[in-house]
Amino acid sequence: MASCSHPSQLISLVYDNELDEARRYAAADQIADCPACSHRMQLLEHTHEALCQTLDEEVSRLDFSDFWPRIEQGIAAQPPSLASQWADRFRHWRMQWHAPLSWHIPVWATTVGLCLFAAAVSTQLPTSRGAVHIQTARKPVVVALNNQAQIESLSATSTVLVWNEPTSNATVIWVDETLGEKLP
């Protein structure tokens, strides 16, 4: 039998259907035109059939009735992992101490809440001199450069309104001290 110039991997790729459609048709034409490639393709098909038949016969002889029980026994025989040991210890500790310590959780939560409330209230109290420092109202300054706006400062009485026009992608920012309660 004469040897051909086609790569030997081509037959395996065609047989396993691992080529795209165009390459598969071209390779099938090459295999059909080449007697050596046709012979190799037939050998591959016969080998595959023999292998499948042998495997089917061997599998039919096996007894799988106790397969899963044996798997479960093997898993149960494995020593527990370090993570599961610590999880078991924590579960045991929680069961042992959960009931006696369960009333402590509300007590701690109430204590922390009261401390936070006291801290918030103490920061709002006047200073030791008896005067609270209030910043004087300054006129807002708006700086706009390169289509970017930045508000330098605002007073407590300033009103800021932002309007965005999605069709033109325009944004307008109003800073006004006279609007007060009368919003448009």
Give the number of domains in the chain. 2
Burial class (CB in 10 A: 0-12, 13-18, 19+), 19: middle
Between CA 172 and CA 170 the distance in angstroms is: 7
Residue 111 lies in a domain: no
> Treating both helix axes as pointing N-terminal to C-terminal, what angle do 35-61 and 21-33 enclose, rounded to 10 degrees?
110
pLDDT in tens, 66-124: 888 888 888 888 777 788 888 888 888 877 766 666 666 777 788 889 999 888 887 76
Residue 160 lies in a domain: yes
Q: Is the dihedral of CA 107, 109, 110, 111 positive or negative?
A: positive
**3-class DSSP state of 163:** strand
pLDDT in tens, 15-67: 888 888 888 888 888 888 888 888 888 998 999 999 999 998 888 888 888 88
Q: Among the three residues 20, 35, 61, which one is the final residue of a domain in this structure? A: 61
Q: Among the three residues 30, 45, 61, which one is the final residue of a domain in this structure? A: 61
Between CA 54 and CA 67 the distance in angstroms is: 22
Residue 25 lies in a domain: yes
Residue 45 lies in a domain: yes
Residue 53 lies in a domain: yes
Residue 32 lies in a domain: yes
Between CA 171 and CA 12 the distance in angstroms is: 65
Range of the domain at 13: 9-61
Q: Among the three residues 43, 61, 79, which one is the final residue of a domain in this structure? A: 61
Phi, psi of 31 (to 5 degrees): -65, -40
Residue 95 lies in a domain: no
Residue 84 lies in a domain: no
Does the predicted model carry a pTM greater than 0.75? Answer: no
pLDDT at residue 171 is higher than 60: yes
